[in-house]
Amino acid sequence: MPGIFHVPIDLVIRNGTVVTASDKFTCDVGVRAGRITALGHELGPTQDVIDATDLLVLPGGIDSHVHFAQPSGPGIVMADDFESGTRSAAFGGNTTVLPFCLQAKGQTLREALKTYHALADDNCYVDVSFHLIIADPTESVLGQELPALVEAGYTSFKVFMTYEGLALSDFEMLNVMETARRTGALVMVHAENYDAIRFLTDRLERAGQTAPYYHAVSRPAPVEREATHRAISLAELIDVPVMIVHVSNRGAMEEIRRAQQRGLKVYGETCPQYLTLTSDDLQGLNMEGAKYVCSPPPRDRESQQACWEGLQQSVFSVFSSDHCPFRYDDAAGKLAPKGRTSFRWVPNGIPGVATRLPILFSEGVAKGRIDIHRFVALTATNHARMYGLYPRKGTIAVGADADLVLWDPNKRVTINHDLLHDGSDYTPYEGFEVTGWPIRTIVRGRTVVQDGELVGVKGFGKYLTREKSEFAQPKSRHGE
């Protein structure tokens, strides 16, 4: 049968099983100038043919929650810059990542963006776009800078309810949310109760309970549930949509579900660590537990089950890595001297940009917990829709960027750090066995990683200006 669309093609991916968030069909994918131009049979002729027989052809992963080159406190250095972070993303089957651009106190957003763009420019293997972190919501930031930046394509920002120097008061959160409502941007919230964490941390330290394990004890589930409830309530007061990121447990998940059932535009995200790790992992000998210190912390089996239900029942719309890498055996990382005196000083965050897709595929699709379409939605399509990149990104359709991952659903791999090509010196998933692995990652028609080899060029990854999210518009704007 001839190709459906008789347009010139410079690359054909032949005979794969193409899967989107809604469809599955065996066909060729025709690409020209980095875009998908045809879906059909016997496309061509062209010299550049990739045989995808027995492979799934999926939209490239979009990881909408990663941290690269983020300032992390005195003496601490994040393990990935844009080069190593986007390289590792490509090894994990991702074609777009959304890192955070952190505003320091007293800094303008434009200053922060200038620095961050300079770090990213010419250094990326996959496409990138930034969320802003609003740490200093002054009148001029909220009144002038932010509205202009939203119009310029920085259409999402994160606020923190905890962390010294980052935590916003409820008053400040309301002001940020009001700006989001006015501008049509999407607010992402790190929901943990700062005062409760400070109180528990002081108490644990006084009792000499300072090992990494006590990080998890210092921020138990109610700390997250309360802040999640409060963030939702504040968003309801303002009538603005909100995304609760890195949800780790049932209490927080049920808060989101209840809000959704009441018709509020509240969205949720969970991450691999909340499906696979528990607080027991922080119990390692000596400082080994520091490898698993992240916030919110991994919890217990029941919490894992709750996160699965959130994924299965669409309480969560995105599954992200929260890749926030520090080296372990390094005084600028997890073994920072102060961290030995108390968990309070162990850098928060774990690597995971390269393991997100294999973990969800193996634990989710291969084990029958979710179907392949939900996998695609959770790892690519919903990220593009949530953050203003759809339909250019996140799907396989004529006109979309040719961002694809060829996926072997049967390949069995034991995860080891050498496979991941990030800047850290460990993975929390060392020895974890998965079924399903990315074989080839293609960004705008160009292969970046093939059979475990880097073939892409640094600098090919481009900065993406985003539209406003279709999910970020307040209810009243739609006249609902």
| Residues contributing to the site for ligand DUC (CB under 6 A) | 67, 190, 246, 294-295, 322, 324, 348-349
Least CB distance to ligand DUC at residue 218 (A): 13
**Token pair 């509020």: residue:** 264
Measured distance CA(8)–CA(6) in Å, rounded: 7
Q: φ and ψ at 259, to 5 degrees?
A: -65, -40
- The residue among 66 and 185 lying less far from ligand DUC, judged by its C-beta, is 66
Nearest to 274 by CA among 363, 376, 143, 366: 363
Residue 169: count other Cβ atoms within 10 Å of its Cβ. 11
- The residue among 21 and 176 lying less far from ligand DUC, judged by its C-beta, is 176
Q: Which helix (H) or strand (E) holds 83?
A: helix 82-91
- The residue among 294 and 360 lying less far from ligand DUC, judged by its C-beta, is 294
Residue 348, contacted partner among ligand DUC, Zn ion, none, CB below 5-8 A by kind: ligand DUC
Measured distance CA(60)–CA(407) in Å, rounded: 10
Q: Which residue is nearest to Zn ion (CB)?
A: 190
Least CB distance to Zn ion at residue 33 (A): 34
- The residue among 29 and 187 lying less far from ligand DUC, judged by its C-beta, is 187
Least CB distance to ligand DUC at residue 230 (A): 17
Contacts 24+ apart (CB under 8 A), 456-461: 456/90, 456/125, 457/125, 458/83, 458/87, 458/122, 458/123, 458/124, 458/125, 459/122, 459/123, 459/124, 460/124, 460/125, 461/86, 461/124, 461/125, 461/126, 461/127, 461/128
Residue 281, contacted partner among Zn ion, ligand DUC, none, CB below 5-8 A by kind: none
Least CB distance to ligand DUC at residue 350 (A): 8
Least CB distance to Zn ion at residue 379 (A): 17
Residue 419: count other Cβ atoms within 10 Å of its Cβ. 17
Strand, helix or coil for residue 188: strand
Residue 358, contacted partner among ligand DUC, Zn ion, none, CB below 5-8 A by kind: none
- The residue among 70 and 395 lying less far from ligand DUC, judged by its C-beta, is 70
Q: Determine contact, residues 441/407, Cβ cutoff 8 Å.
A: no
Q: φ and ψ at 9, to 5 degrees?
A: -130, 140
Residue 374, contacted partner among ligand DUC, Zn ion, none, CB below 5-8 A by kind: none
Residue 250, contacted partner among ligand DUC, Zn ion, none, CB below 5-8 A by kind: none
Q: Determine contact, residues 395/327, Cβ cutoff 8 Å.
A: no
- The residue among 64 and 395 lying less far from ligand DUC, judged by its C-beta, is 64
Least CB distance to Zn ion at residue 37 (A): 36
Binding site for Zn ion (CB under 5 A): 190, 322
Residue 177, contacted partner among ligand DUC, Zn ion, none, CB below 5-8 A by kind: none
